[in-house]
Amino acid sequence: MASLTKVLRLSNSVNNVKKLFTNLSVCQNVVPSLHSKVPNVPTIPRSALIHTSSRTDDLMEFFDKDINWTKQRIQVGRSWSTDELRIKSNEDLHKLWYVLLKEKNMLLTMEHACNEAYELFPNPERLDKVEESMKNLETVVRERNEAYYQLETGQTGEVPSKIVNNVLGLRQYYRFSQHVIPKGINQTWKKKYLFGYGGHAVRKFLLKYRENIWNEKRKRNNRETNAAISLLKKFPNLDMEALRQKYPNANIEKALRSNKLKYHGVASRYE
């Protein structure tokens, strides 16, 4: 009887083992089908991700590069032309404006540092190139604004202005602006913008001022006329059109009648 009981227990344990292996084989067949329905998930790289913030130079952005501090001549390019800026997008122009502004601040800082150290500022024309580029950029932006407002409203979009006389009697442009307080009762505006002039002192000043302008103009014309006479003395067969282009304010007819050219026979050649 005991032997029969042992045989039954052994048979039950064998059946349990067979069921276990059967379940394992079923699970292996089911698992791939379950994974096939799950979308592909990107694997995470084993190496850790590196995060860095943007580079910051602090106040050193106001100074030139270290390699340029001891140089007497720095190789730079030319300024931006209007034709090159017209093909740029508005976003590129916006970025370029701040690049030029930072460059201008840097150059002004370096110029001040050189003056404090009693040293020559290398390539001072760099400031002129940056300012010319910024001026051309403003011109292109103004052209685009005018074109936009012309299409939308039929106007240029520029703030209207007019020519007025200041307290010294000189003509100047006044650009209109909006004010909360009307112009008639706005005392701050009246103190800042004093239009119109009068009195004996102002009229005397205008007389002397216009006389000074006329004298400067007369001296400039005489200088160019004398320079034309000197060239005609050295080169009697000089081209008159080229001479007029070089000295547009010179009186060529007066130069040909000058006594300085009387014995050179220049006037007779152009009669």
φ/ψ (deg, to 5) at 118? 55, 45
Do the beta carbons of residue 210 and residue 170 sit within 8 Å? no
Do the beta carbons of residue 270 and residue 256 sit within 8 Å? yes
* Residue labelled with tokens 């390699």: 67
pLDDT digit string, tens, across residues 79-128 = 999 999 999 999 999 999 999 999 898 889 888 888 888 888 888 888 99
Q: Which residue has the higher pLDDT, 57 or 84?
A: 84
> For the chain, what is the mean pLDDT?
78
Predicted confidence (pLDDT) at residue 36 exceeds the cutoff of 80: no
Kindly report the number of other CB atoms within 10 A of residue 65's CB atom.
10
pLDDT score at 97: 95
